[in-house]
Amino acid sequence: MRKWVIHEILADAALSHASVPVISGSERFTYASLYDRSLRLANSLSRQGIGKGTVVGVMDVNSHRYLELKYALSMLGAVIHTINFRLPWDDLVFTVKHAHDQWLFVWDGFGELASRIAQEVPQVVWMGSDRGAGYEDFITAGHSELPQAACSVEETDAYSIFYITGTTGVPKGISYSHCQMLTGSMQIAHHLGLHDTGAWLRADDVMMPLIPFFHIHGWGVPFIAPYLGAPLVLAEQRGPAEQLTLIEEHRVTWSNMVPTQLFMLLQQAGSKDPNLAHVPLKVLTGGSSLSTGLAEQAHRAGVTFSLIYGGSDQLGTAISVAPGLDGAARLVRLSTHMTAFPYVRVEVRNQFGTSVDSDGQEMGEVWVQSPWIPNGYVDNPEESKRAFFDGWFKSGDLAVRYPDGSFYVMDRLKDAIKSGGEWIASSVIESVISEVPGVKAVAVIGQPDPAWGERPIAIVEAQSTTTRENIRQHLDAAVARGRLAKFWIPDSIRFIESMPLTSAGKIHKAALRQMGSVSSSDLG
């Protein structure tokens, strides 16, 4: 009897989609050859003592090596720790020790960082290097048979552990079983294939994931692509210019990325002539809100998109759809209204845990329930108690609910501003400011106020031609059209040379708050 385990996905692809290409850097593989390499790797690692429950850390860019390890370790019942190499050093070491990594597969391209982290783990395998035990040596030494250990791997066995990128405190670990990871990933594929989305996914799409594999396994793409038999392009360590070259060279039609990556890709496409920027790509984006300005810029460049809502501690939960809509109405719908997956229940609740009205007006916290929600954080009962309750995950996101069952995530509770007892959604103000010509990035944060408790301030990265007066006039016009309440207008506007970013590519609002308050003299 076959089981719902990770390595069965690649086994099927090797049989049914044997010649479909997988491109990684300058190397070209097929699903058949990748399966053969994964079998060889698994058998070699088994002889080294890696087996059920062994925690193996992997620190690499999106590559064929990472893909092979995901499947080889599944065959052995080992637990893959997808290491976030963008974390600060202390947090990076914490995750390796907290996960109890016994082996480390590390790409030598990380240079000094690779050498330092290698000292923290007992057994190290170097990838892309001749020093020490080499990755290709294990594949050469292995044989192309399914390891005996694969027969004892169960759907409920732990498959992966990864860590939430926190702005305060130590990172929080989450463990997912084979079944949880696969069902969560497949729901993304089915939702994109069956609904009217801007990121409509087909088996003949050429997929290039730009979400790093350390972040929820690239939102499941390493499992979705072979499941569909779709050609796969792995960008490895490539910037926006090289990514555009890959898109053109391999005729990439589908990708995933956070809004910051989308912005950089569009900026690169329009670097010579913004009017000629054209990127005919379907994009699944999320991780932070998509501003109106960026949505319109993407639309002009030929990018169609959908938003995904979820996170490391809940996997995928919802994707935006726009049934029967076109033009501006479709753009707005795909930027705001999230539709939950089947088997996922989403409620928007107030501070007392009661569901709010589905009128699109009252804001509350998003609570999520699904078959793949974990029981809590690994070895962290205090944080688990705060976030997980009676089978529900309390997301910390602020949203409104609509009569048709869709919902709009407006802000993180920690980022929302409470002014005079009323909520102000910073992401809505940011979206409006993003529409001002020349604005590259914007963050709205709360500043303590003796009269109102908190007041919003806007921090803007923009071209030199953009002025505070331009922004103020646009905000006033938004108030006149009913898009913003007057008391939502930021008290001050400050320009910054470049925005600080988190390891996930999001604007680091905690770092902005630490830069100090903004005085009224910053107003234009």
Question: Of 122-136, 211-225, 227-241, where does mean pLDDT reach its minimum?
Answer: 122-136
Domain ranges of the chain: 7-178, 417-522
Digit-coded pLDDT (tens) for 93-114: 999 999 999 999 999 999 999 9
Alpha carbons within 13 angstroms on the beta-carbon side of residue 261 total 22
Q: What is the pLDDT of residues 177-198, one digit of tens each?
A: 999 999 999 999 999 999 999 9
* CATH code of the region 417-522: 3.30.300.30
Q: Is 380 helix (H, G, I), strand (E, B) or coil?
A: coil
pLDDT in tens, 414-460: 777 878 767 787 888 888 998 999 999 999 988 887 778 789 999 99
Distance CA(57)–CA(110), nearest Å, equals 15
Helical segments of 195-220, H only:
216-219
Specify the residue for token string 């920027």.
277
Name every residue whose Cβ is closer than 8 Å to that of residue 136 and which is 6 or more positions away in sequence. none
Query: Cβ distance 144 to 72 under 8 Å?
Result: no
Rg, the chain, Cα only: 23
Nearest to 170 by CA among 237, 249, 238, 87: 87
Q: Tell me the backbone φ, ψ of residue 257, rounded to 5 degrees.
A: -170, 155
The maximal CA–CA distance of the chain, rounded, in angstroms, is 72
Whole-model pTM?
Answer: 0.85
**3, two tokens:** 């089981």
Kindly state the average pLDDT of the residues 30-37.
98
Beta bridge partners of 401: 407
Task: Give yes or no for a contact between 193 and 229, defined as CB atoms under 8 angstroms apart.
Answer: no
Predicted pLDDT at 168: 53
Q: Which tokens in the block code for residue 158?
A: 């732990």
**Assigned CATH topology for domain 7-178:** Rossmann fold (3.40.50)
Percent of the chain with pLDDT over 70: 95
Segments in 358-517 forming alpha helices (H): 381-387, 426-434, 468-480, 509-514
How would DSSP label each residue in 282-340? EEEEESS---HHHHHHHHHTT-EEEEEEEETTTEEEEEE--TT--HHHHHHHHHH-EEE
